[in-house]
Structure 1
Amino acid sequence: MRAIQQPCEVTHLTPDGTPKVIRWAGRTYHLTQVLDQYRAGGRWWLGEPSRDCWVIQCGPVTMEVHRLDEKEGAHPHGWFLARMQD
């Protein structure tokens, strides 16, 4: 997977909060399978917030999408695309 580390837009969620429709770089990706889900603590010494993370399949594309915990100064959208393999 290649590192992306850019904001993305999540427009739909499953009932349990998993990102279902992701928009990034002018493209729309639809969830087909959840491969993994975990919680990461963030680098506290750099002031990073904790986050929920999903590794998901969107057709032929595998994505790792993170949702940052709400915190002053956190990413404005809360969601970002960490890694992607297409």
Structure 2
Amino acid sequence: MRDVQELLEGVTLDASGRPVRFRRQNRLHVVTAQIDDWRSGGRWWLDEAPRDCWLVQAGQLTAEIHHEDALAGRWWLARVQD
């Protein structure tokens, strides 16, 4: 997988809080499968907030998506395999 660390906007969640679609480079990606999910404590030495992480399949794109537990609650596209 390739590290990208892109800020995401327009993430849509299902009733349980899992991402079901997101926009990347003005393209809508619909999640077709959730492969894995986990909780990361964040890199404390860089003052990163803890985050929830998902590995998802969205068409041809396999993506690792992170959501920070911070006041801003930013969404990140951490890594991709396309």
Q: Same-fold call, TM > 0.5?
A: yes
Structure 1, residues 13-60: CA drift from partner, whole Å, max 9, x if none?
111111111101111100100000000001112211000000000011
**TM-score (ref. length: structure 2):** 0.92
Q: Which position in structure 2 is the counterpart of 1:37?
A: 37
CA separation of 1:11 and 1:44: change in aligned 2, threshold 3 A: closer
Q: Which position in structure 1 is the counterpart of 2:77?
A: 81
Q: List alignment gaps of at least 5 residues for structure 2.
A: none
8 Å Cα contact 1:40-1:53 kept in structure 2: yes
8 Å Cα contact 1:7-1:77 kept in structure 2: no
Q: Which position in structure 2 is the counterpart of 1:52?
A: 52
Residues in 2 aligned to 1:32 and 1:51: alpha-carbon distance in whole angstroms: 22
Q: Which amino acid aligns with 2:30?
A: H
SS of the equivalent of 1:17 reads coil
- State the number of aligned residues: 82
Segments of 4+ moved more than 2 angstroms: none
Q: List alignment gaps of at least 5 residues for structure 1.
A: none
Residues in 2 aligned to 1:16 and 1:27: alpha-carbon distance in whole angstroms: 24
How far apart are residue 77 of structure 1 and its match? 5.9
Percent identity, aligned pairs only, is: 43
Structure with greater proportional strand content: 2
SS of the equivalent of 2:45 reads helix
RMSD: 1.3
**TM-score (ref. length: structure 1):** 0.88
Q: Which position in structure 1 is the counterpart of 2:15?
A: 15
